[in-house]
Chains A and B, each alone.
Chain A
Amino acid sequence: MSADAELQARKSTRADVALLLEGTFPYVAGGVSSWVNQIIKGFPDIDFAIIFLGSRRQDYGEPKFKLPDNVVHFEAHYLYDSDSHPPVTAIKGDDEMFEQVRVLHRYFQNPHMYAREGAQALERVVGELNGRMNHDQFLYSEHSWNFTTQQYQERSRDPSFVDYFWTVRTMHAPIWKLAKIVDGMIDVRCFHSVSTGYAGFLGALLKRKHRKPLILSEHGIYTKERRIDLYSAQWIADNRNLLQSDPTQAGYFRQAWIRFFEALGRMCYDASDQIIALYEANRLRQVQDGAREERTFNIPNGIDVERFGALRAKRPAEVPLVSCLIGRVVPIKDVKTYIRAMRVVANRLPAAQAWIAGPEDESPAYAKECHDLVESLGLQENVKFLGFQNLMDLLPQIGLVVLSSISEALPLVLLEGYAAGVPAVSTDVGSCRQLIEGLTSADKALGKSGEIVGIANPQELADAILLFFTDLDKWHQASEAGVARVGKYYTHPLMFSRYAKVYERALEGEFADGDSFDGWPPLDGA
């Protein structure tokens, strides 16, 4: 039986927790997926169901993880697969529902002014996604056409109606797929989404229909990441001509997509009973994006310190002049800056090696660009692409963990490196500064376990790498600080005990009938 078939064979009629996962575990390797794997394995007494949401089936290969035994149910849904549309039928459309849709859009455009009517309309429309406001109504009704053309005339700042029409169609299409998932949902005791976006919106729909608690754990901030993707996306049409174009305005469709994801995020925050961030800056961002502050708190990641700690005994006596970027070869990791930095490092320390340990299949075009860059900078002797590696074998061989990412949350690889005695050089993203310099005064007193550099700055990154490779006292101090920091603040027992409370509250009915509770005390990062 293939790994994929094995996943599909996991079926059950009930589970304790339904994990709602968008574009991550088990099909994509990476930090979030590893975290999901940890959580499932960390709670062997809880039965998990996994609802995986992807874009199209062909975008994902074979599963990258073996499902733990306590995953009793698995479903995969692909939101942009061009499968079945309902058969074409001429319908006029439901008057009342489209009036509610009108109110709902007014609310999305101005959530503060129309909060109350908007919430009522949302409740009404969402409740009828498989009934009076089904997919047929959206695709084929006269009301839908009239509403679309009217919105185009009233709001569109892009002259192309064709692009407007198809943007609206594409944007809304997944909503009815999600509504179908809601209807077919097995019996679970609570829902746990690992992002906002479509998975978070699904969580909001599930909570509304099944009246079960919804937990949201955000690693990165989904809405923010989509916003950046959309600003630089090439596939979004902009039909303004030179005279029509205001250079300080993003194209209308770009803004429409951004507003769409912001609305999905807001609906997820509204519906979530417990909203968890990995660190304080992200928690504040959640509040800024619409999460109720009293429902938010932090739970930092943790790792199996004993397992990785055992690797320190395997380290060679001398510090290997090998830095290593552990992660997928994808644009967000900014591998190119690491390669450029190596040009500078190799100029001054020709024996230095840079390893890139991570799969290259997620973004083959970017991986090729990285290989080309190595060649054009003449670094074939210094830079090695290793593909996916077992960290237990890799960590004893390297002298530095390097992260050149442009966005991170709370990267596990830094913690795993610390436990194995390897200091880190990282860009100033996510909670990396907190992981390297410490958060509280007691944490800071442990010393720096590496160096922080600016993003996309090869010179600064190279200088930091050289600092540790040329000053071994500094390397040993950072290594000791890392070991102490991970052992004190980022362990599995700490993380699991906090999540145990989260699940306990959700599973024991603290949020009975889907009501949210008030007064959860914000936990600090420590």
Chain B
Amino acid sequence: MKGLLAACAALLIEALAFAGLMQQWLADEQLALLLFWLVHGLASVLAAEAAWLITPSRWRVGRYRLRGLYFSFAFFIPVLGIAGLLLVLFVAVRYPKTVSTDQYAQIREPQYLMTMRESQERSDIRAANARQILRDAKESVDNKLRVMLALQHMRPKVSVPLLQELLSDPVEDLRLLAYSMLDSWEKDLAQRIGQTQQALAAARARQSQREIINSHQRLAELYWEQVDTGLARGDLRTFALEQAKVQCEQALTLEPKLSGLWLHYGRVLLDLGNVAAAEKAFRLARKAGMSELYVMPELARIAWELGRPGDVSAFLRRISQQAHLPQGLHQVVRFWAPETERPTRP
């Protein structure tokens, strides 16, 4: 009887605490929250006591520990904790068979693996050249499959060309695995394009210029990624480049000061074969504030393609004094613009 009374009191106090919080009886938010925790704590103590009193004597093991457990249930899960605790105990007392533990036995827990068991098949494949192994007709299919699994951890730009070669491998297992890996990357890109198109539509509906520009820029990057990774080939590559071009143009029309996007636009135009427009875009990127470190190599590339080696040197000399040249570029600059020469403006 005492237990039942304590349970009713706990539920009532908890309801009061919750109602007070919901109805905002106190204007000061922090004070209201503090009061809620105090009243909720009182309800939890009462609920723990009620639960202890309701608990059949054969289950009352550890006076304080069990009360502490009940209190934790009640306190750390507001409202539901108290109601759930009392409901479960009511069911357990009223229908003891439902909580019978006769069918369970205590067993020793397993010894968990704290250190990693290495595969006996492990070899030096990781260090070897993936391309060489995949092309070697004498290499076993299992080894090739293992190299392919390692490709999943590489950048798509590196692994996509290798996987595309494997699409025509005589072994069907390799072909299918290569396909499924390529397909998952393509699917991922397509999904991101779809999501960005939706974001663009939403931004247009909200007339949020910043979000519209961001979405166009993101779409341009995603279409470019299809090209850059090699996932889009042939006419589809051209299609993706055209899409990237359109997205760049739409973003630049709205915001012409995006130096990074001008650079990106120039690369897209260059890949589309529109060299003159690309050169103009790179110069606009520089004008908008893009560092020479990024613009000069692109202009040098154009000069090379147009057969103007003198301009290549001139462009690269402009960045030859830069302290942080990217790894690949360092050698190129050193070849075209030896440090002894002074930079000149082409």
Contact = CB atoms under 8 A, between A and B. Distances in A.
Contact of A247 (B150, B167, B176, B197): B150
A156 B117 contact: yes
Given A331-B183, A376-B190, A456-B182, A161 B110 contact: yes
B190 A373 contact: yes
Given A343-B235, A372-B194, A456-B183, A228 B173 contact: yes
Interface stretch (A46-54, A192-200, A457-465): A457-465
A373 B240 CA distance: 13
Nearest to B112: A161
A240 B118 CA distance: 11
B113 A153 contact: yes
A170 interface: no
Contacts of A152: 110, 113
Interface string B86-116: 0000000000000000011101001111101
A2 interface: no
A406 interface: yes
Nearest to A154: B117
B177 to A, nearest CB: 6
Given A344-B234, A372-B194, A157 B177 contact: no
A221 to B, nearest CB: 8
Q: Is the interface of B mostly helix, strand, loop or mixed?
A: helix
Interface stretch (B19-27, B119-127, B253-261, B304-312): B119-127
Given A153-B111, A156-B113, A159-B113, A250 B233 contact: no
B277 to A, nearest CB: 22
A379 to B, nearest CB: 11
B235 A459 contact: yes
A80 B121 CA distance: 33
A232 B180 CA distance: 7
A231 B183 contact: no
Contact of A462 (B114, B123, B176, B235): B235
A249 B145 CA distance: 9
B153 A458 contact: no
B146 A249 contact: yes
A141 to B, nearest CB: 11
A87 B103 CA distance: 9
A228 B107 contact: no
A246 B122 contact: yes
A372 B110 contact: no
Given A145-B107, A228-B180, A373-B190, A157 B235 contact: no
B320 to A, nearest CB: 39
Interface in A386-438: 406-407, 428-429
Given A153-B111, A159-B112, A244-B116, A455 B179 contact: yes
Nearest to B168: A454
B233 A459 contact: yes
Contacts of B110: 149, 152-153, 161
A246 B119 CA distance: 9
B131 interface: no
Interface string A129-146: 000000000000010010
Interface string B236-280: 100100000000000000000000000000000000000000000
Contact of A228 (B146, B176, B235, B239): B176
Contacts of B172: 224, 407, 429
A406 B166 CA distance: 13
A90 B102 CA distance: 9
A249 B105 contact: no
Contacts of B146: 248-249
A458 B167 CA distance: 12
Contacts of B114: 159
Contacts of B167: 454-457
Q: Which of B112, B184, B197 counts the most A-chain CB atoms under 10 A from its CB?
A: B112
A406 B118 CA distance: 34
Contacts, number: 122
Contact of B153 (A161, A247, A454): A247
A13 interface: no
Contacts of A428: 168
A369 interface: yes
B117 A157 contact: yes
B312 to A, nearest CB: 33
Contacts of A145: 107
B233 A376 contact: no
A295 interface: no
Contacts of A90: 103-105
Contacts of B180: 228, 231-232
A347 interface: yes
Nearest to A225: B176
A442 interface: no
B149 A458 contact: no
A406 B153 CA distance: 24
Contacts of B187: 369
B147 interface: yes
A4 B256 CA distance: 64
Contacts of A407: 172, 176
B209 interface: no
Interface string A31-44: 00000000000000
Contacts of A497: none
A376 B200 CA distance: 14
A340 interface: yes
A146 B103 CA distance: 18
7 contacts: A153-B113, A156-B117, A159-B113, A227-B173, A372-B190, A376-B194, A458-B236
Interface of A: 87-90, 142, 145, 149, 152-153, 155-157, 159, 161, 224, 227-228, 231-232, 240, 244, 246-250, 331, 334, 336, 340, 343-344, 347, 369, 372-373, 376-377, 406-407, 428-429, 454-459, 462
Interface of B: 103-105, 107, 110-114, 116-119, 121-123, 125-126, 145-147, 149-150, 152-153, 167-168, 172-173, 175-177, 179-184, 186-187, 190, 193-194, 197, 233-236, 239
Which 6 pairs from chain A and chain B are nearest by CB? A459-B234, A149-B110, A232-B180, A248-B146, A247-B150, A344-B235
